[in-house]
Amino acid sequence: MWPSGPSGRRREGSIRTAVPSLPTLWDPGPQLVTPDGFLCLPLLLDPQVARDLRCLSASPESATLPFSLQTSEAGEYVPALRLISLVTSYDRLWPREYQQAREAVCRELGLPVADDPVLEGWLATLVFEVLPHFVRLGPTPGRTRPGPDAVLDFLVRRLQIPPPYYERARQEAAPEELEGRLAILEAQAASLPPPPAGRVFGADLDRWLEKALRALIISRERQRVARRLALNRQQGEKPWLRRALLRYLRDQGGMEIDGFGFFPDGRSAGDYWVYRRTGEYLLQDYYGRLYLFPDCRVAVSTRERLRPVVWETYKHPFLRRHAPRQEICLPQEYQVPLTAGPREIIAALEAGLNALYYGYNPRRRNGYHSLDRHRGEQLVSFEDYRLSPEDPRVLSGRVEVKNRYL
């Protein structure tokens, strides 16, 4: 039954006017709401339910767990939804509509519609949590992974960020700017209004939902701005440096440093392809002959399940074809994570790299193909990768033989 059609005339200046797609969750007619804010829905009767009802005593006025039944001239009703919980979970149930409502409230109060999402999205995660695992930030390795401040200092030194990015970031992170926003939000702050009780029409519930959603948005914005203000005062120049760096990287469309990099996944806004380069490496076959594999990018996307692929047109015993964006054959013990996070991204990239480097066993000749043609004709041949023993890259040891186990 949800969402249903409009349940009342839209009021000028309301959230529903600003957000036409805001879901309406109830019919226009009368609804039953318990004194403690549970919306009741009609109970479909069958013989078993009827027998159970006859065994119940008179229902109390408030809904408790287990829910008690409410009697009406229209039939039996059961408390089904706590309306305050609906408001507090609105951003998870309808994220797009919640964001539109948030923007409408910010415009009403004369505040910036939204902070740049780049500051808290995948880009920040990749820069401050994934990059330190693959990129050496200092001259000597430490026992612990560098923190966000060390990453920020390193990237600011390495990247030539134009001055306008710093100037804009300083202005947006200025204490007086944030204090002004906080004062406006505190003046408008109010607790969530309790839902109306008894027989309530859908239009009245619409008006209550708008007021409660507005109060929730103002409360959350107030907390967010207060946290930012406290953090800025504590960290000095770090917040605006972080803002300038992330906005610069977003406008550049990603980056690459020391073989680690990322770029936008064009299929959805805010998602990225994350990769680590293999560099050149050698593999040996059953007879000890060496094959030089060129550099490639092992990549995963934050948009989908973390199955590592080789981005370039590439051939390898653990790839089915000679084509781009092929999934790497991984060992059975690798479990593809159901959700993506910094640890899962790191593990997926390492699994793909290890498979290319160390997965091919020349004694077993495992994989989709073998380096030497012991199976007759093969769809993918590696003859053009084979090096002579006198090749300078072999004699100098500059390129490592990855699968030499003995």
> According to the model, what pLDDT value does residue 387 have?
92
> According to the model, what pLDDT value does residue 1 have?
30
> According to the model, what pLDDT value does residue 325 have?
95
- Sequence ranges of the domains in the chain: 15-83, 93-250, 265-395
One DSSP character per residue, 88-127 reads HTHHHHSHHHHHHHHHHHHHHHT--S---GGGTSHHHHII
Q: What is the mean pLDDT of each run of 10 residues along the chain (406 residues)?
A: 37 60 75 86 70 59 45 66 90 87 89 67 91 84 73 91 90 78 89 89 89 93 85 71 90 93 89 96 94 96 92 95 94 82 94 95 90 76 91 88 82
pTM of model > 0.75: no
**Four-residue CA torsion sign, 165, 138, 133, 282:** positive
Q: Where are any strands of DSSP class E within 100-245? A: 198-201
Cβ atoms within 10 Å, residue 94: 18
CA gyration radius, the chain: 30
Cβ atoms within 10 Å, residue 79: 23
